[in-house]
A and B are shown apart, each in its own frame.
Chain A
Amino acid sequence: MKYMKTATAFAAAALVLVSACTTPASTTPTTGAPAPEAPSETTPAATEGLRMTILPKNLGNPYFETSTKGAEAAAAEIGATTELVGPTDAAADAQVPYIETATQQKVDAIQISANDQTALCDAIKAAQAAGIKIVTFDSDAPGCRDLFINQATSEGIAKVLVEMAVEQAGGSGEIAVLSATANATNQNAWIEAMKTDLAANHPDIKLVDVVFGDDQDQKSFDETQALLQKYPNLKVIVAPTTVGIAAAARYISTSDAKGKVWVTGLGTPNDMRSFVEDGTVKEFALWNPEDLGYLTTFAAAALVKGEITGAEGDKFTAGKLGEYTVGADNTVLLGDPYRFNAENIADFNF
């Protein structure tokens, strides 16, 4: 009787704690995602293989689902275990707690696609101090990692984007960019390179605006609408983000602008197929994110095992992708972007 208050509180707490401790560590997708991923629980150093944490910009992003698939396939080949963690929003410092947790768990390597190039630095440095190898992929945190796996050079990506935009605009006119988050390192690098390319080679094309969809479908959708309203003479929307291009295409395919305002950028064939078929999208580009994840895992493993140090000139083998050499600034290049259009899109499935 006397202890009812305390007893009730303790009972409630115990119930919560018990339920929390018995919650499974893996989350299973309920939708028809390409392949179910099975993050394994990390256990102390009794496992033989390497332990890696995969930390993309955000979860629920099909691009990263594909890259994780590749990363996990590579891990299976070399006998390593991976754990997929990440925030739901690609906010600047949302990844920090996960880096901290991975540091505490003393994993061997963390694969990160960075949301912000500065905010993660401290946590990364602390992880490195604890002996963990940090490999960034897709979006870099310059100066705060051991190795960066870049899908292509910024100039290379920008060149392809600009070429497609100029072609679809008919050589002159207004274009706009629908980006992801304002801080994403990769986005900003590509946009800068695009501006340089446009200024140097295509003076008749005017880049009127850069808007941010935050890699969120609904926001990208709404920003596309705003762009169309603000710039009635717009000819092309370039969306170098798979979430953004899908949302923009979806908006335009049900609006009056279909066929008048073209959507291009970086997208996955599966997302874009229906829009290519119905005429909203002529051409877009991408690399294979699965290969990117695959390469990242091999690179991280090579770092951990000491085969490479990340210095320029180091060579390592990445399974079925072959041999790779580390370039300047501890960067490894995957390859060139590939252009998808109505003729070849049926050949791909990712």
Chain B
Amino acid sequence: MTATTVGYREYGRPRWQRILLTREMAIVGLLLLTLLVAGLAIPYFADRLTVYNLLRDMFATLIIALPMALVMITGDIDISVGSMVGLSCSVLGLLFSMGVPFELSMVLVLLMGAAGGLLNGALVAKIGLPALAVTIGTMALFRGIAVGLLGTSTVTGFPQGWTDLTKYEIGYTGIPFIIVVFLVLFAVFVYLLNFTPFGRGIYALGLNSEAAVFSGVNRDRTRIILFVLAGTMSALGGIYWTLLRGTARGDIGDGLELQVIAAVVLGGVSVFGGIGALYGVVAGVLLIGALSSALRLVGVTAEVIKIITGVLLIGSVVAASMITSFQNRRKKVTAAPSQTSVAEPAPSGE
């Protein structure tokens, strides 16, 4: 009598391949390729100033892309983030010019961002309105209030201690100090998405919301929280912008939402929801930033970046879609009528 040991034959690819062949890794690879080619071919690119300018200019997009990715994984969307950035900037300037202590103003602005997100979330989750329509409305509403409040004036003269924060570098690497803020936020969001039930609920909602609800995910609460996060991060982005430029205006952040969404989709988040990883999103943002930077140095009109962003966006989405449909067709062809069982007696000699 042979002792049959039940062993599991390994199907599929080894783990390292599984990680490398993801969409996110493709974007990371693209980013590295861009940096390499630009660093070698474009004069002045391989310079600490490049890193410094790039990270400082992209900070707002980076931090807003984090909650936006989560929102889009659930299957929602928020195109009011750019207007919230403008509104935060405007309100911050207004409060400061009225004499409110700067630190308190910042806190109030963050709360306002959360409140704006709450409005979005409540309309979407509780009243059941489509996210696109709601955020089109709030996008116009927030921007309108931002511009209406400050009018055509600007506020300057913010405390230097705070504005200088955006300028500090880490040693001579060219990496700005505020990157620390981003890394902390990144860690928080990664933990939230990948290591908590809440995060798993986000993926579940995106893949199949009814099943998720039946499994115990609180759909309304999750969506509202994500919109609140998006609003808060947008407010933080607005505060950052004010400190970066030293001036508060109501019309900044125009078009930011589309840049964020383009980066998020580029970074691997599926437009249908349920799929995505944060490191891909970060790579997406950095890729767009690096390309802008590189092309500006070459003297290419910065607006050509628009064409490249558009092409990358469409290209990546279309490619992903074609690959999925190709794979689906392949599965239909090769599916055998009888499935072999997973467990097989380990063949001798193995």
From B20, B297, B302, A105 is in contact (CB under 8 Å) with B297
Interface residues of A (CB under 8 A from B): 2-6, 8-10, 12-14, 16-17, 20-21, 23, 25-27, 39, 41-44, 83, 85, 87-88, 91-93, 96-98, 100-101, 103-106, 116, 118-119, 121-122, 182-183, 212
Q: Do the beta carbons of B21 and A119 come within 8 Å of each other?
A: no
Query: Is B258's CB within 8 Å of the partner chain A?
Result: no
Given contact pairs A25-B300, A104-B53, A2 touches B21 in the complex (Cβ within 8 A): yes
How far apart are B39's CB and chain A's nearest CB, in angstroms? 13
Docked pose: A106 CA to B50 CA in angstroms: 12
CA A212 – CA B147 in complex, angstroms? 13
Q: Which residues of B contact A39 (CB under 8 A)?
A: 299
* Pairwise interchain contact A10-B26, C-beta atoms closer than 8 A: yes
Given contacts A2-B17, A17-B37, contact A9 B154 (CB under 8 A): no
Interface size (B, Cβ < 8 Å)? 58
**A101 / chain B contacts, CB cutoff of 8 Å:** 293, 296-297
Cβ–Cβ contact A116 & B299, under 8 A: no
**B157-196 interface bits toward A, Cβ cutoff 8 Å, 1 = contact, 0 = none:** 0000000000100000000000000000000000000000
CB distance from A35 to the nearest CB of B (A): 20
Contact A6 to B252, CB < 8 A, known contacts A183-B154, A212-B152: no
Cβ of B251 under 8 Å from chain A: yes
Shortest CB–CB separation between residue B163 and chain A, in angstroms?
Answer: 8
Interface pair A92/B53, CB less than 8 Å apart: no
Interface SS majority for chain B: helix
Q: Return the contact of B323 from the options A8, A21, A88 (Cβ within 8 A).
A: A8
A8–B319 touching, CB < 8 Å: yes
| B-side contacts of A9, CB under 8 Å | 23, 26-27, 29-30, 316, 319
Q: Which residues of A contact B299 (CB under 8 A)?
A: 25-26, 39, 41-42, 83, 85
Which residues of B49-101 are within 8 A (CB) of A?
49-50, 53, 57
Most buried by A among B156, B167, B299: B299
Measured CB to CB, the closest approach of chain B to A161, in angstroms, equals 20
Residues of B contacting A96 in the complex (Cβ-Cβ under 8 angstroms) = 245
Q: Contact between B251 and A91 (Cβ–Cβ < 8 Å)?
A: yes
**Shortest beta-carbon distance from A197 to chain B in Å:** 22
Identify which of A4, A83, A105, A119 contacts B246 (C-beta below 8 A): A119
For the A-B complex with A9-B27, A25-B300, A44-B44 known, give 8 more contacts whose Cβ atoms are closer than 8 Å: A2-B13, A6-B25, A9-B26, A13-B30, A20-B294, A21-B37, A98-B302, A182-B151
B259 at the A interface (CB under 8 A): no
The interface-forming segment of B119-127, B136-144, B303-311, B341-349 is B303-311
**Could you tell me the distance in whole angstroms from the C-beta of A226 to the nearest C-beta in chain B?**
15
By the criterion CB–CB under 8 Å, are A88 and B296 in contact? no
**Closest beta carbon of chain B to A118's beta carbon, Å:** 4
Cβ of B220 under 8 Å from chain A = no
Q: Which residues of B have CB within 8 Å of A100?
A: 49, 53, 57
Contact A23 B23 (CB under 8 A): no
A15 to chain B, nearest CB (A): 9
Q: Which residue of B lies closest to A99 (CB)?
A: B53
Partner of A20, one of B25, B49, B291, B319: B291
A119 contacts B247, CB within 8 Å? yes
A307 to B246, CA, bound (A): 33
Closest to A43 in B: B43
Chain B residues within an 8 Å CB radius of A41? 299
Instruction: Offer 27 A-B interface pairs, CB within 8 angstroms, sorted by A.
Output: A4-B323, A6-B29, A8-B319, A10-B30, A12-B316, A13-B30, A13-B34, A20-B294, A20-B298, A25-B300, A26-B299, A91-B251, A91-B254, A97-B302, A101-B293, A103-B49, A104-B44, A104-B49, A105-B297, A106-B44, A116-B154, A118-B246, A122-B167, A122-B245, A182-B153, A183-B152, A183-B154
CA distance A6 to B299 in the complex (A): 30
A91: chain B residues within 8 A (beta carbon): 251, 254
Cβ contacts under 8 Å, A25 to chain B? 298-300
Interface flag for B104 (CB, 8 Å): no
Residue numbers in A under 8 Å from B296 (CB-CB): 97-98, 101
> What residue of chain A has the Cβ atom nearest to residue B56's Cβ?
A100
Assuming the contacts A9-B29, A116-B154, A121-B246, asked whether A104 and B308 have C-beta atoms less than 8 A apart, the reply is no
B323 / chain A contacts, CB cutoff of 8 Å: 4-5, 8
Closest 3 CB pairs of A and B: A182-B152, A25-B299, A9-B26
Q: Which residue of B17, B49, B252 contacts A93 across the interface (Cβ within 8 Å)?
A: B252
In-complex Cβ contact of B297 among A14, A92, A104, A121 (8 A): A104
| CB nearest to A25 among chain B residues | B299
Interchain CA distance A226-B323 in the complex, whole Å: 53
**Per-residue CB proximity of B193-214 to A under 8 Å, as 1/0?**
0000000000000000000000
B223 CB within 8 Å of chain A: no
A10-B33, A212-B152 known; A122-B300 Cβ under 8 A: no
Q: Are A10 and B29 within 8 A (Cβ)?
A: yes
Partner pick for A97 among B43, B57, B291, CB 8 A cutoff:
B57
Does any Cβ of A come within 8 Å of B295's Cβ?
Answer: yes
What 1/0 mask marks residues of chain B from 3 to 16 whose CB sits below 8 Å from any chain A CB? 00000000001000
Which residues on the A side are within 8 Å of B45 (C-beta)? 104
Please name all residues of chain B whose beta carbon is closer than 8 Å to the beta carbon of A4 when the two chains form the complex: 323
A42 to B45, CA, bound (A): 13
Find out whether the CB atom of B245 lies under 8 angstroms from the CB atom of A21. no
Judge if B107 is at the interface, Cβ distance under 8 Å. no
A83→B29 CA distance, assembly (Å):
33
A177 CA / B301 CA spacing, docked (Å) = 33
Whether A23 contacts B300 by the Cβ 8 Å rule is yes
Q: Does B132 contact A (CB under 8 A)?
A: no
**Nearest B residue (CB) for A8:** B319
Q: Which of A83, A93, A101 has the most CB of B within 10 A?
A: A101
Question: Do A118 and B247 touch (CB < 8 A)?
Answer: yes
